[in-house]
Structure 1
Amino acid sequence: MRYQPDSKGTYRSIDTELLGQVLAKVEGQPLANLLARNIWAPMGAQDSATWNLDHDSGNEKACCCINTTARHYAKLGQLVLNDGQFHGRHIIP
């Protein structure tokens, strides 16, 4: 390891990509469905979002590429600022 756990780290999109693939496989659902059920609907999103795929009819790019409105990016940012809570409900641990 490059750093001691809980000290610091560097972002590598391949880590996020692999984690997304594992999550989708374990849950047996596309990441878009998991996002919609666990974050999008609970945070009160009113508009749809799209997620870029790695190829036609492929998998979502877990490391990036969610396309939505500025309002919903702001809602996601507020969710982060509120430590994963939306209107007192803990959405993200």
Structure 2
Amino acid sequence: MLKKIPALLLALMIGVVGVFAQNAQTRNLTSGQKYKIKGVVVAQDDTGFTVRDAVGVDTKVMLGSGASIKTKGGFFGGGNTIPANNIVRGLNLEVEG
């Protein structure tokens, strides 16, 4: 019984290191192509933010001058317009463009 505990602990430690060692993949987008991405904001800077989708792929989102940022819902699904500085890390969102 006592010999199984160190082996189990070693296997658990190797598994934890493997999880933290995974690097996120970056999605390369084609200019002019339409995309729709759902995910979580994982980073933010002056020019935009990075969204990580459900499979762990990161997408850098650049906000153009004519970008429209809206909440979901509202009357007939219109939603409310919000400023870009309301986008923070950990926010679940959907990006279209």
TM-score (normalizing by structure 1): 0.24
TM-score (normalizing by structure 2): 0.24
Tell me which protein shows more helix as a share of its residues: 1
Please say which structure displays the higher CA radius of gyration: 2
